[in-house]
Amino acid sequence: MFSSLGHYWLKTSTYDTAINIYYTFPFIMFPILYFVNAPYGRFAGKLGIDCSVPGKWSWCFMELISPIMFGMSLLFTQPTWSLFQIILSSCWFIHYINRSIIYPLRATSMSPIHILAFLCSIVFNILNGYTNGMWIGRHSQSTHTLHFWLGLCLWIIGFSLNIYHDTLLFNLRKQTSEKERYLIPRGGLFEYVSCPNYFSEILEWIGYAIAAWPNTPAILFSVATPSNLVPRAWRTHAWYKDQFKEYPSNRKAVIPFFY
């Protein structure tokens, strides 16, 4: 059974189909999410059907899909483990170990996630983890290039900023009460944008795509990430301004000084 799975996993037609489906995601996500609140976090609630799953375990489960699919792709492709492959695989696993395990453990609580958002995330993570793992497993390049180290530095900066701003939000949640569930975030890039954690993640995956160039799945991921997060940041920014009359007027939504 395992060998049959491996045969199907490695078929060119399987990979090509996954890539072709992946191509459609940014074009679907971006316009929809400008008009519909993805029902999790502060926007948790009903969307067509009233069905949600517990926040922490569902977040952990859906985010774990990506490193599992990435790891399975590496297992089947049997890479040579060049420095290029080791570094980029490590970046993937570091991000998703933090995202799927450490992040929910650090969170004091997480709002329920609507079943549709949960299922859509699983589908995305299956495609994303599978295609990126396949590409890395089958390709090795020199690390002695400017674009590799530039991209890696951007990834490190983005990842570090993501951790830092998550920490600021976790500390802020400890100050909330039943009367005040939300407070105005302060510090770091929160002085410039409402969603610096989204900005950090966008920067992170643009950096990864530059380092892995010309990795098609990584490029798609670097486009899909802002297609998902920019509309959500815009809606979050509008929510903050509506909730807090004293909200800083100079803050942008997600890109400092620009948007």
C-alpha–C-alpha distance, residues 222 and 220, integer Å: 5
Length of the chain: 259
Angle at 180 between CA 175 and CA 186, to 5 degrees: 55
Residues 228, 213: contact at Cβ < 8 Å?
A: no
28 neighbors 13 (Cβ within 8 angstroms): no
Segment 19-28 shows an average pLDDT of 95
pLDDT digits (tens, 9 = 90+) for 100-111: 999 999 998 888
Q: What is the pLDDT of residue 231?
A: 94
- The Cα–Cα gap between 131 and 194 comes to 32
* Cα gap 134→211, rounded to integer Å: 16
Angle of helix 12-35 relative to helix 115-138, nearest 10 degrees?
Answer: 140
Give the integer Cα–Cα distance in Å for 94 and 86. Answer: 12
Instruction: Kindly state the tokens that stand for 37.
Output: 């609140």
Report how far residue 215's alpha carbon sits from residue 223's, in angstroms, rounded to the nearest whole number: 13
- Given a cut of 70, is residue 42 above it in pLDDT? no
User: What SS3 state is found at 53?
Assistant: strand
Using only C-alpha atoms, the chain has a radius of gyration, in whole angstroms, of 19
d(Cα 251, Cα 259) in Å, to the nearest integer? 9
Distances (CA, A) of 57 to 98, 110, 127, 187: 14, 9, 21, 29
The pLDDT value given to residue 178: 65
Q: Is the dihedral of CA 225, 56, 92, 201 positive or negative?
A: positive
Confidence category of residue 33, pLDDT binned at 50, 70, 90: confident
Task: Place 44 in a pLDDT band, splitting at 50, 70 and 90.
Answer: low
pLDDT digits (tens, 9 = 90+) for 167-177: 999 999 888 77
Q: Where are the alpha helices (DSSP H) in 78-107?
A: 83-97, 103-106
Span between the terminal Cα atoms of the chain, in Å: 50
